[in-house]
């Protein structure tokens, strides 16, 4: 799934000829704190309501505002790249452009989250396990072999590394709810199982926590 697949066409862009007060009015109408800025359909940058209020520029056109920040992703980039840009710049929207810098639209946090839910199988029935290990001890092929030996399959996985540490967490989503045999088998092979969640309510709680962390991280 690429950036152009999840563009939200309902979010307007503004041009450099718009007055700052008109931009604020659009932000209020669409309940947005940022809007993309274009000139002759070429992407210029992104403007926030905080920047407008800080400079107290209301009647002036955006072209007088100065240099704008210009985060973006290319149309063919993966949605993980979209997430990386959104989190790095703490943005609720990410502009999408083509190879000629033509503005194609933007991706909202809601669209991004919906896409992430699809590719990470958050609606799949099963269980979640969190393993702790050293970075050099990681082998997905071995972990998969152990899981499959208990008649289960890994349907998605995530790696969390920690700054200034050789430790990492590996989160697994497997396709069965009775997870005890898998946990015992992993522990038998020396893996440390930090946590596991089984049953629909516990799975929902797990993903709800991750959703809240993502939203807080993106400061939305």
The answer on 84 and 126 residing in a single domain is no
The answer on 86 and 40 residing in a single domain is yes
Of 117, 132, 154, the last residue of a domain is 117
Residue 130's closest CA among 95, 93, 167, 104? 167
Confidence at residue 186, expressed as pLDDT on a 0 to 100 scale: 94
Phi, psi of 135 (to 5 degrees): -55, -40
If one counts the domains in the chain, the total is: 2
Q: Is the pTM of this model over 0.75?
A: no
Residue 122's closest CA among 62, 199, 195, 203? 203
Cβ-contact 50, 20 below 8 angstroms: no
Tell me 138's DSSP state.
Answer: -
- Domain extent, residue 112, equals 3-117
> Cα Rg for the chain, rounded, in angstroms?
22
> What average pLDDT values come out for the chain (220 residues) when binned by 10 residues?
92 94 94 95 95 90 88 92 90 94 94 80 76 92 95 88 87 87 94 79 52 52
CATH number, domain with residue 166: 3.30.70.260
Of 117, 150, 180, the last residue of a domain is 117
Q: What are 117's two structure tokens? A: 């839910």
Q: Are strands 127-134 and 192-198 parallel, antiparallel or unpaired?
A: antiparallel
Cβ-contact 76, 4 below 8 angstroms: yes
Confidence at residue 157, expressed as pLDDT on a 0 to 100 scale: 85
């Amino acid at each position: 799934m690429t950036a152009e697949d999840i563009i939200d066409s309902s979010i307007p862009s503004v041009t450099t000829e718009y007055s700052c007060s008109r931009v604020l009015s659009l932000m209020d109408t669409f309940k947005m704190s940022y809007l993309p800025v274009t000139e002759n359909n070429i992407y210029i940058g992104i403007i926030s309501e905080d920047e407008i209020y800080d400079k107290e520029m209301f009647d002036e056109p955006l072209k007088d505002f100065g240099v704008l920040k210009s985060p973006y992703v290319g149309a063919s980039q993966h949605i993980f790249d979209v997430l990386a840009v959104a989190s790095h710049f703490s943005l609720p929207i990410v502009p999408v452009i083509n190879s000629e810098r033509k503005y194609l639209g933007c991706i909202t946090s809601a669209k991004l989250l919906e896409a992430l839910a699809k590719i990470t199988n958050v609606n799949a029935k099963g269980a979640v396990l969190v393993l702790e290990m050293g970075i050099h001890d990681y082998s997905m092929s071995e972990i998969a072999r152990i899981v499959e030996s208990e008649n289960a399959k890994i349907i998605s996985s995530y790696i969390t590394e920690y700054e200034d540490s050789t430790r990492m967490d590996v989160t697994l989503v497997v396709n069965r709810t009775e997870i005890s045999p898998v946990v015992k088998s992993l522990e038998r092979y020396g893996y440390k199982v930090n946590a596991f969640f089984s049953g629909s309510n516990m799975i929902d709680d797990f993903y709800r926590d991750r959703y809240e962390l993502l939203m807080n991280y993106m400061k939305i």
